[in-house]
Amino acid sequence: MKNNWKIVPASEFCNSVRDGTHDSPKQVEYGKLLVTSRHITGNRLDLSSAYNISSEDYESINKRSNVDQWDVLFTMIGTVGEPCLVSSKPDYAIKNIGLFKSKTETHGKYLYYYLCSPEAQHHTESHSQGTTQQYIPLGELRKFPIYYPEDENEMLAITHILGSLDDKIDLNRRMNEALEGMAQTLFKSWFVDFDPVIDNILLRNLKEYPSPSLSQGERDNSLKGKASPSLSQRERDAGSSTIGRSGDEGSENRLFNGIPEEFMERAETRYKALADGTANREVAKNFPDSFQETEEMGWIPEGWVTQSVYDMANFINGAAYKGKDFSVSAEALPVIKIAEIKGGITAQTKFTEINKGDKYIINDGDILLSWSGNPDTSIDTFIWTSGKGYLNQHIFKVSFHSKNDRYFVYYQLKILRSVFVEIARDKQTTGLGHFTAADMKRLRVFKPTYKMLSLFNEVVASIYKRSLDNNITTKNITKLRDTLLPKLISGELRIEDAEKMVGDIV
């Protein structure tokens, strides 16, 4: 053991070690959130699927398991051994989660990183129990050996180095969320709300049909992109009544002529965008200026066709890997499950040398669609960036009929996530749900023209590639952090050397 370093049980390193309730408080519409092990993924707390419990149950649980800032949560049942640092003031109760009550902020951060280390993960695995469902008893958490430097300044330096890398990872994550939001907003505008098509119809109508409800000056302002008053309900009603008409019918106001009733509210928004100059008229020139009615999907832009979700691309389900397939050989590749998609390659990742077919091999940049798991946290579309591996079952690898399809299919699948989640939730049992190829064949989407796909690719390619680059950078930073972590918390690597290694990155 290095000088000035100690090993003590967690009960001594912390103020106390506890766990959350083992009861099942009733769900209520309004109240406080209840957090369980399944809400901790990738060492982060995801409250999106947590449900509310009554204030009485919340207070009862927190009499013995109150969570404070800088405490460390630890998954105890199911997926065992995933720590999560409580970095902001909490307002929830916990169930079946270990709770390490930290003495100080520095103690909490150090403990978090220590519990992430391979040594701590190995200790957790060797002291877990259960056959059908793994768990680690509270007594084992209290006895958990913690190796740490007695000099708190050294402990602080270790947490600062590792924390600066995590800050960079979090910054990249937030940047990618913003980039994803930009691309999805554009996709929705073009391919869900059909804004450019509506713009073209409005512009055509403003040119062709004089309206007693609009003065010549107002019509001219709209055509030039200058501010005009919003439309009255009478004008909207008059416009919707003229769909499909010609000649003198609906002559009171033809501004909305040719716009299906289901898009009337959007049409008023687009009229305002035309009037205030925020509508992109150059983009709209590439879109149709009329709708066609289809049996499968109702009204869609003229010239576009419908197809099933399943026909958008090739969806290859992963292989079924079992315990006997796993290996610790240096030649083995990681088996990619939902945990790896969300958290990267970790100490819990299984490896195998068995290639069950080249179609199951995935590489950086491949698009993956998870179709089974917890509907709120697992069902989604992802870009893989953690290197070569073998894809496990319950996840589709998505390949494309043509290069032109990649961005459209990816963002279409992201838009469809809420639909997939609802299907999976309807089939949910014991917390897990799924959707199937049959569901994908039943769901209908449309396919724009080649020209539209090419234009979309031009606009979003830089956004997509920047997001991919951020993911790859994050992977490399994560790899450096995971390399430094065991060396720092064992005293093997000097603080000065570690600071030089991370200096350029942070």
How does pLDDT run across 131-155, given as a tens digit for each residue?
A: 888 999 999 999 999 999 999 999 9
If asked whether residues 144 and 9 sit together in one domain, one would say yes
pLDDT tens string 329-351: 999 999 999 989 988 888 789 99
In a domain, 413, yes or no: yes
Phi, psi of 468 (to 5 degrees): -65, -45
If asked whether residues 9 and 143 sit together in one domain, one would say yes
Question: What CATH number corresponds to the domain at position 39?
Answer: 3.90.220.20
* C-alpha of 11 from chain center: 36
If asked whether residues 277 and 329 sit together in one domain, one would say no
In a domain, 454, yes or no: no
The answer to which of 99-103, 126-130, 287-291, 426-430 has the lowest mean pLDDT is 426-430
In angstroms, the Cα distances linking 78 to 38, 115, 133, 323, 370 are 8, 17, 6, 17, 20
Q: Are 125 and 82 in contact (CB under 8 A)?
A: no
Interatomic CA distance for residues 95 and 28, integer angstroms? 16
E strands along 416-493, which residues? 433-434, 444-447
If asked whether residues 352 and 260 sit together in one domain, one would say no
If asked whether residues 247 and 286 sit together in one domain, one would say yes
Q: Would you call 409 helix, strand, or coil by DSSP? A: helix
Range of the domain at 208: 196-291
In a domain, 265, yes or no: yes
Interatomic CA distance for residues 440 and 437, integer angstroms? 5
If asked whether residues 231 and 335 sit together in one domain, one would say no
In a domain, 452, yes or no: no
If asked whether residues 276 and 316 sit together in one domain, one would say no
Q: What band does 217 get if pLDDT is binned at 50, 70 and 90?
A: low
User: Domain total for the chain?
Assistant: 3
In a domain, 485, yes or no: no
In a domain, 317, yes or no: yes
If asked whether residues 81 and 46 sit together in one domain, one would say yes
If asked whether residues 352 and 433 sit together in one domain, one would say yes
Q: What band does 230 get if pLDDT is binned at 50, 70 and 90?
A: very low
Domain boundary (447, 464, 485) is at 447
Each residue of 16-52: b (16+ CB within 10 Å) or e? Answer: ebbbbbeeebeeeeebbbbbbbbbbbebebbeeebeb
Domain boundary (412, 447, 482) is at 447
If asked whether residues 374 and 432 sit together in one domain, one would say yes
Per-residue pLDDT, averaged over 258-275, amounts to: 93
pLDDT value at residue 446: 92
In a domain, 340, yes or no: yes
Query: If you average pLDDT over every residue of the chain, what do you get?
Result: 89
Interatomic CA distance for residues 424 and 433, integer angstroms? 4
Interatomic CA distance for residues 346 and 82, integer angstroms? 11
If asked whether residues 272 and 349 sit together in one domain, one would say no
In a domain, 301, yes or no: no
H/E stretch holding 426 reads: helix 417-426
If asked whether residues 10 and 138 sit together in one domain, one would say yes
Domain boundary (132, 148, 164) is at 148
Q: Which of 407, 410, 405 is CA-nearest to residue 459? A: 407
Confidence check: pLDDT of 164 > 60: yes
pLDDT value at residue 245: 38
DSSP string, 320-362: ---GGGB---TT-EEEE-HHHHHH-S-TT--EE---S-GGGEE
